[in-house]
Amino acid sequence: MNTKSHLTWSTDDAAELYAINEWGAGYFKIDHNGEVAVTSTTENNVQVQASVLDIVRQARERGMDAPVLIRFEDLLAQQIKRLNEAFRKAIKDSHYQAEYRGVFPVKVNQQCHVIEEIAQVGAPYNHGFEAGSKPELIIALATLENREACIICNGYKDEEFIDLGLQACNMGYNVFFVIETPSELPIILKRSRALGIKPMIGVRVKLASMVGGHWNATSGDRSIFGLSTAQVIELVDTLKAEDMLDCLQLLHYHLGSQIPNIRDIRTGVLEACQVYMDLVREGANMGYLDLGGGLAVDYDGSKSNYVHSRNYSLDEYCADIVDVIMSTLDPFNISHPIIVTESGRATVAYSSLLVFNVLDVAHYEPGKIPSEIPASENVMVHNLSDLISLVNERNIQECYNDAVFYRDELREIFKRGQINLRSRSLAENLFLAVMHRILAIAEEMPRGLDEAEKLKDQLSDIFYCNFSLFQSLPDMWAIEQVFPVMPLHRLDEKPIRNAIIADITCDCDGKIDRFADHRGTRKTLPLHQPKDDEEYYIGAFLVGAYQETLGDLHNLFGDTNVVSIRFNDDGSYDFIHEIEGDSIADVLSYVEYNPQEMQNRFRRTAEQAVREGRITPAERLKIMNAFSDSMRGYTYYEK
Ligand SMILES: *Cc1c(COP(=O)(O)O)cnc(C)c1O
């Protein structure tokens, strides 16, 4: 707990508490008004800054209420630039003899505006796309105009997929078919012969190198995708026999997403380089080494090899890759390959921010306690009451144990009907009062109480917030991903509440109770007490990767409103795209209802009620208007 008093609290303390300068990557910080600011450089390299809350206010005036997803086009552009510039620098510094060609894996964010922005900003760098399915290949072909860029096709490929890719090759696109399973090659060869077009073939190899982090099952012998070394050799032999070994030009591997440890990245490249060299020696016309994704995002700001972090910078990542390739290949005079990476997460995570408002707060605090406990109350109720004044630093542990004992006993005798609801309610209030007293004392003690941390969590508030975890932050639920979460304003004011966050789905899993911390994760987040006359806004940051399309319609909460922001050189910004979130009619039609028919049916029921004299025709009109207003409304809480 930050021991700073209210009086000496500053925005620096808030920055430290929420670690914004650590995970913010220079894009997010706290401004002098105590609000979260986004900073960026524009296309013309001018440094600009805006308060996120100001963007939220402006969006609201345009009818785009919270929950709202804000996309910062400039941040996406900058990440593409940072990645490409970092590789260019590493290549130049080491006199590496080939280029870097990044590809963006479409699956990480398929949204049209995101893909179009990547194609545009990536064009000068020949940045391409990785497609894992037919729709993704279609997106890549329709969006990419740059013929130097690569389109890497992973995933299962049927004849239709292959035909499309081959014909795109004919048009001058660098479409690589990456062989992921041995059964794919015969189809590619067959379609290539039928169309008379030579394919560009890559092979995905299963490396023995394993990585730490959540996705470690993607690496090693039992990974689902890729060929074993024995299968790679069979592939080479088949291509040789077909006189098509010259088509094999790319080696691919993917060790998994969010690789926290740079050592694992080095080990992976090293092993891949050995495979690459042997493919060259076998006579394949190699030229590309594709390292897949894995470049991690430091979600908790700890710069460590913890799962939500990374212990390396982007520059180190690039330099290490270049270094390992050169030191492995150079002794054997093997030409440097074009380096391809498929960074998705690190490219788009920063550019989206989910903003939601707080609807209600539940406090775990004692209700009214009478100044005198009636003599008729059970003796244990009296004992609980006495503990409040009795507890001190020396007997704190004993008082804690006693209080828990009395509370449990009182609950027990309530079950047996020996005390009534009113007495039990008094007992629960007294218990909470004792616990708050104990916590207050424990926090002043150098070697507090063993249970203090747990107690703090148990006494924490629940902030009910206007969003659906399943729709907007699915990885928080599915894989216990941690995203930075913090208030967007009042950061010059000490946050005095300690809370978990609950969403508005009626699902007990719809909550955030793991927050980034310098030392790992913690269960609660310090927040401010919301004011009656002012919305309290919270942001979930770095949510641009994977969350949007993975999200689902649990409890029929639909897509949120989305606004895209682009900065001008004078620091102003434009709302370049606004996408209204799903209406109730939208989500109902996703699950096969026909909103028009539902309205007709409801109208018949209302007409019946008129006929039966339950409502007047004027009331029918009102009800029908309410019904159709709802249909058109936002699925989230509207004020
Ligand atoms: C998912 C995936 C990626 C993206 O990985 P990130 O860690 O998000 O950069 C890249 N390549 C392949 C083959 C993938 O499956």
| Same-domain pairing of 339 and 383 | no
In a domain, 581, yes or no: no
* pLDDT at position 443: 87
* pLDDT tens string 20-33: 999 999 999 999 99
Predicted confidence band at 3 (pLDDT cuts at 50, 70, 90)?
low
Nearest CA to ligand 1 atom 3: 293
Chain centroid to Cα 436, Å, comes to 35
**d(C-alpha 338, C-alpha 97), whole Å:** 9
Mean local confidence (pLDDT), 353-377 = 95
HEC states along 341-360?
CCCCHHHHHHHEEEEEEEEE
Domain boundary among 387, 422, 456: 456
User: Relative to the CA of 154, which ligand 1 atom is closest?
Assistant: 13
pTM here?
Answer: 0.94
Task: Kindly give the distance from the C-alpha atom of residue 394 to the centroid of ligand 1, in angstroms, as a whole number.
Answer: 56
Task: Kindly give the distance from the C-alpha atom of residue 416 to the centroid of ligand 1, in angstroms, as a whole number.
Answer: 59
Task: Kindly give the distance from the C-alpha atom of residue 424 to the centroid of ligand 1, in angstroms, as a whole number.
Answer: 55
**d(C-alpha 292, C-alpha 216), whole Å:** 14
Q: Report the residue among 80, 108, 179, 251 best suited for mutation to probe ligand 1: largest number of ligand atoms under 8 A from its CB.
A: 108
Task: Kindly give the distance from the C-alpha atom of residue 473 to the centroid of ligand 1, in angstroms, as a whole number.
Answer: 19
* pLDDT tens string 49-108: 999 999 999 999 999 999 999 999 999 999 999 999 999 999 999 999 999 999 999 999
Mean local confidence (pLDDT), 308-323 = 96
What tokens were used for 120? 């545009």
* pLDDT at position 213: 74
Nearest CA to ligand 1 atom 2: 293
* pLDDT at position 218: 65
In a domain, 61, yes or no: no
Mean local confidence (pLDDT), 632-638 = 95
Task: Kindly give the distance from the C-alpha atom of residue 342 to the centroid of ligand 1, in angstroms, as a whole number.
Answer: 6
Q: Report the residue among 257, 261, 347, 348 best suited for mutation to probe ligand 1: largest number of ligand atoms under 8 A from its CB.
A: 257
Q: Give percent above pLDDT 70 in the chain.
A: 98
Minimal CA–CA distance to 409: which of 446, 440, 384?
384
First vs last Cα of the chain: how many Å apart?
Answer: 35
Residue 205 is classified by DSSP as B
Task: Kindly give the distance from the C-alpha atom of residue 341 to the centroid of ligand 1, in angstroms, as a whole number.
Answer: 9
- Answer yes or no: is pLDDT of 259 > 70: yes
Minimal CA–CA distance to 90: which of 99, 77, 103?
99
In a domain, 116, yes or no: yes
* pLDDT at position 540: 98
User: Relative to the CA of 345, which ligand 1 atom is closest?
Assistant: 8
Task: Kindly give the distance from the C-alpha atom of residue 256 to the centroid of ligand 1, in angstroms, as a whole number.
Answer: 7
Mean pLDDT: which of 86-90, 153-157, 450-454 is highest?
86-90
| Same-domain pairing of 141 and 284 | yes
| Same-domain pairing of 159 and 296 | yes
| Same-domain pairing of 199 and 134 | yes
Task: Kindly give the distance from the C-alpha atom of residue 294 to the centroid of ligand 1, in angstroms, as a whole number.
Answer: 6
Predicted confidence band at 5 (pLDDT cuts at 50, 70, 90)?
confident
φ, ψ of residue 615 to 5 degrees: the values are -130, 160
* pLDDT at position 217: 63
Domain boundary among 421, 456, 491: 456
Task: Kindly give the distance from the C-alpha atom of residue 103 to the centroid of ligand 1, in angstroms, as a whole number.
Answer: 10
Nearest CA to ligand 1 atom 4: 293
Range of the domain at 295: 98-343
User: Relative to the CA of 342, which ligand 1 atom is closest?
Assistant: 10
In a domain, 493, yes or no: no
| Same-domain pairing of 222 and 113 | yes
In a domain, 110, yes or no: yes
* pLDDT tens string 461-519: 999 999 999 999 999 999 999 999 999 999 999 999 999 999 999 889 999 999 988 77
Predicted confidence band at 450 (pLDDT cuts at 50, 70, 90)?
confident
- Answer yes or no: is pLDDT of 215 > 80: no
| Same-domain pairing of 307 and 442 | no
Task: Kindly give the distance from the C-alpha atom of residue 478 to the centroid of ligand 1, in angstroms, as a whole number.
Answer: 18
| CATH number, domain containing residue 111 | 3.20.20.10
| Same-domain pairing of 386 and 279 | no
Predicted confidence band at 447 (pLDDT cuts at 50, 70, 90)?
confident
Minimal CA–CA distance to 257: which of 475, 511, 84?
475
Domain boundary among 456, 473, 507: 456
User: Relative to the CA of 347, which ligand 1 atom is closest?
Assistant: 9
* pLDDT at position 222: 66
In a domain, 552, yes or no: no
* pLDDT at position 2: 53
* pLDDT tens string 541-600: 999 999 988 899 999 999 999 999 999 999 999 999 999 999 999 999 999 999 999 999
Higher pLDDT residue, 220 or 227? Answer: 227
**d(C-alpha 429, C-alpha 432), whole Å:** 5
| Same-domain pairing of 237 and 133 | yes
In a domain, 161, yes or no: yes
| Same-domain pairing of 195 and 286 | yes
| C-beta separation of 501 from 511 below 8 A | yes
Task: Kindly give the distance from the C-alpha atom of residue 517 to the centroid of ligand 1, in angstroms, as a whole number.
Answer: 26
Q: Which residues line ligand 1 (CB under 6 A)?
A: 105, 107-108, 130, 154, 254, 257-258, 292-295, 342-345, 545
| Same-domain pairing of 411 and 262 | no
User: Relative to the CA of 108, which ligand 1 atom is closest?
Assistant: 8
Q: Report the residue among 254, 255, 258, 314 best suited for mutation to probe ligand 1: largest number of ligand atoms under 8 A from its CB.
A: 254
| Same-domain pairing of 284 and 146 | yes
Number of domains in the chain: 3
Nearest CA to ligand 1 atom 5: 293
| Same-domain pairing of 407 and 305 | no
In a domain, 23, yes or no: no
- What is the b/e burial string over 164-192, where b = at least 16 CB atoms within 10 angstroms of the residue's CB? bbbebbeeebbbbbbbbeeebbeebbebb
- Answer yes or no: is pLDDT of 406 > 90: yes
Task: Kindly give the distance from the C-alpha atom of residue 297 to the centroid of ligand 1, in angstroms, as a whole number.
Answer: 13
| CATH number, domain containing residue 396 | 1.20.58.930
Mean pLDDT of all residues belonging to the chain: 94
* pLDDT at position 167: 96
Out of 179-183, 207-211, 292-296, 610-614, least confident range: 207-211
Looking at this protein, which amino acid is placed at residue 523? K
